[in-house]
Amino acid sequence: MYSDDTIAAIATALSESGIGIIRVSGSMAKEITNKIFVGPSGKRIIDKMQTHTIKYGYVISLDSTEDSFRDNIIDECLVSYMQGPKSFTGEDVVEINCHGGVFVVKKVLSEVLRAGARLADPGEFSKRAFLNGRMDLTEAEAVMDIISSKSDSSLKASINQLSGNISKKIKELREDILYNIAFIESALDDPEHISLDGYDEKITGLLEKWIYEIDKLIRSNDSGKFLREGINTVLLGKPNAGKSSVMNLLLGQDRAIVTDIAGTTRDTLEEYIKFGNIGLNLVDTAGIRDTENTVEQIGVDRARKAAENADLIIYVVDSTDLNNNITKGYIDLMNSFSNKKGIVLLNKVDLGKNFEKIDFPYPVIEFSTVTGEGFDILKDTITDMFYKGLGSSSDEIVITNIRHRNLLEDCKKSLVNVQQSVSMGMQEDFYSIDLMDAYSSLGKIIGEEIEDDLATEIFSKFCLGK
């Protein structure tokens, strides 16, 4: 798993910007950088740097001499040096802060590689931090979650994970389980001095406690998924109900075409929006109705498919045109997706209301894309539906990673097996087998029990400079 050569990569986005950073990590980081960096006088100064200091100077061509360095300056830079183990990777790390810009940053990296560094693999800096004990696996995964965060809530969950909240809980559970494994094994080896009398009652209580805590973590993943990826939200309804106007209001711009002609939207239109502290993967769809127009029918079919894959369906209803036939059509439409969470927007209430006697099977919000009425209520309703009870504490643990959830479910199965062994009156050594499996599953979450190929797969998904 571990390679001790010195690696380098661009740690910032490749674009025109104020600053670009090239990160170098490994035992030769200082020596390699010293070959291509000089102070204002042209002297090589990296080898004399103290840890956690910054020097000003120039990145020059590897072929330059002290006399000719001014003719070979690539960029004016600041270089920082952090001696291991007090660095991100736990190794010697040098970071070259040059001017942003695709060409100049690539040019500086090229000289670093010519001087002896190897181009880092995706996620290799974080992988080295993990292997050197600077962070466990959940904290390493939190780094990428922070980078990909799309809302305040997802960022908060990632920060909590990076701070070690998940690791702390997992380690507490492992310690409790390991203690009981050791107790059982010791009692079986030395029954004269260590008694198992009454242990079934004790382990039964502990199992209930552990399974409750594991279940709580698993349940948090239902909301954690939406924190990380956003809520797949589909606008559904009859033609000309105002779906595109609703989408434009939520986006804060005219993204969808709006006309008085029913059937204007012929295909799905997808956008991501930050809606308060949550994220919505919003899909506007063609109005659902029976039609002989081939193109429109394709749009209707795609609308139904989008609804089938949605986490939330927002039914947009024209509040000024709710005669019995249309009302029945809406109820039928909602019933066809009864397994989905839904909200009814009674749109166009600024033009009038005609819905006093209608009983919709979902929460109903009076809405207007003209006045903005109902906008805040919609936001609060969605938040309550998907995140109720979350975010009340900075120490709250939310599982956002499907790998963590799967391992927690494996752990729970093993603990349930122990419960069954106890209820069947089996010998205590059977308990140890399943308790060890539970202990192992938890260890894989934080990386204390992980195979080489799994670690490689996890870190390969990271961006190049991380």
- As a whole number of angstroms, the distance between CA 367 and CA 88 comes to 50
Asked if residue 336 belongs to a domain, the reply is yes
Q: Which of 369, 396, 411 is the last residue of a domain?
A: 369
What is the per-residue pLDDT for 22?
95
- b vs e for 33-61, b when ≥16 Cβ sit within 10 Å of the residue's Cβ? bbbbbbbeebebbbeebeeeeebebbbbb
Q: What's the token pair of residue 332? A: 């039928």
Asked if residue 72 belongs to a domain, the reply is yes
Which of 197-201, 409-413, 423-427 is most confident? 409-413
Q: How confident is the model at residue 417 (pLDDT cuts 50, 70, 90)?
A: very high
- As a whole number of angstroms, the distance between CA 173 and CA 357 comes to 54
Q: How confident is the model at residue 144 (pLDDT cuts 50, 70, 90)?
A: confident
Looking at residues 348-367, what average pLDDT do you find? 77
Asked if residue 436 belongs to a domain, the reply is no
pTM above 0.85, yes or no: no
Asked if residue 93 belongs to a domain, the reply is yes
Q: Are 414 and 437 in contact (CB under 8 A)?
A: yes
Report the 10 Å Cβ neighbour count for 428: 17
Asked if residue 119 belongs to a domain, the reply is yes
State yes or no: pLDDT of 227 exceeds 60.
yes
What is the per-residue pLDDT for 282?
87
Residue 242 shares a structural domain with residue 361? yes
Q: Which of 136, 160, 189 is the last residue of a domain?
A: 136
Selected residue with higher pLDDT from 197 and 437: 437
Looking at residues 365-371, what average pLDDT do you find? 89
Q: What's the token pair of residue 342? A: 């839904």
Q: In Å, how far are 267, 297, 301, 348 from 289, measured between CA atoms?
A: 14, 8, 10, 20
Q: Are 21 and 79 in contact (CB under 8 A)?
A: no
- As a whole number of angstroms, the distance between CA 413 and CA 424 comes to 16
Q: How many Cα atoms occupy the beta-carbon half-sphere of 379 within 13 Å? A: 13
- The CATH number of whichever domain residue 13 belongs to comes to 3.30.1360.120
Q: How confident is the model at residue 462 (pLDDT cuts 50, 70, 90)?
A: low
State yes or no: pLDDT of 267 exceeds 50.
no
Q: What's the token pair of residue 216? A: 């709580």
Radius of gyration of the chain (CA): 30
Q: How confident is the model at residue 116 (pLDDT cuts 50, 70, 90)?
A: very high
- The CATH number of whichever domain residue 259 belongs to comes to 3.40.50.300
Triad 18, 24, 25: Cα angle to 5°? 140
State yes or no: pLDDT of 65 exceeds 60.
yes
Q: What's the token pair of residue 147? A: 């980078």
State yes or no: pLDDT of 32 exceeds 80.
yes
What is the per-residue pLDDT for 430?
85
What is the per-residue pLDDT for 137?
82
Q: Which of 52-61, 132-141, 202-211, 350-359 has the lowest mean pLDDT?
A: 350-359
Asked if residue 447 belongs to a domain, the reply is no
Question: pLDDT tens across 303-324, in order?
Answer: 778 778 888 989 888 887 766 5
Asked if residue 418 belongs to a domain, the reply is no
Q: Are 132 and 92 in contact (CB under 8 A)?
A: no
Asked if residue 131 belongs to a domain, the reply is yes
State yes or no: pLDDT of 302 exceeds 50.
yes
Looking at residues 169-183, what average pLDDT do you find? 92
Q: How confident is the model at residue 1 (pLDDT cuts 50, 70, 90)?
A: very low
Residue 128 shares a structural domain with residue 240? no
Question: pLDDT tens across 252-265, in order?
Answer: 755 544 444 444 44
- As a whole number of angstroms, the distance between CA 162 and CA 398 comes to 12
- Provide the number of structural domains found in the chain: 2
347 burial via Cβ count (<10 Å: 0-12, 13-18, 19+): buried
Runs of H (alpha helix) within 148-281: 152-162, 165-189, 199-229, 243-251
Q: Which residues pair with 282 in a beta bridge?
A: 233, 271
User: What residue has token string 């010697």?
Assistant: 92
Task: Give the residue numbers spanning the domain of 328.
Answer: 230-369
Q: How confident is the model at residue 163 (pLDDT cuts 50, 70, 90)?
A: confident
Q: Which of 118, 136, 154 is the last residue of a domain?
A: 136
- As a whole number of angstroms, the distance between CA 88 and CA 128 comes to 9
Helix (H, G, I), strand (E, B) or coil at 22: strand
Helix (H, G, I), strand (E, B) or coil at 405: helix
Q: Which of 380-389, 431-440, 454-463 has the lowest mean pLDDT?
A: 454-463
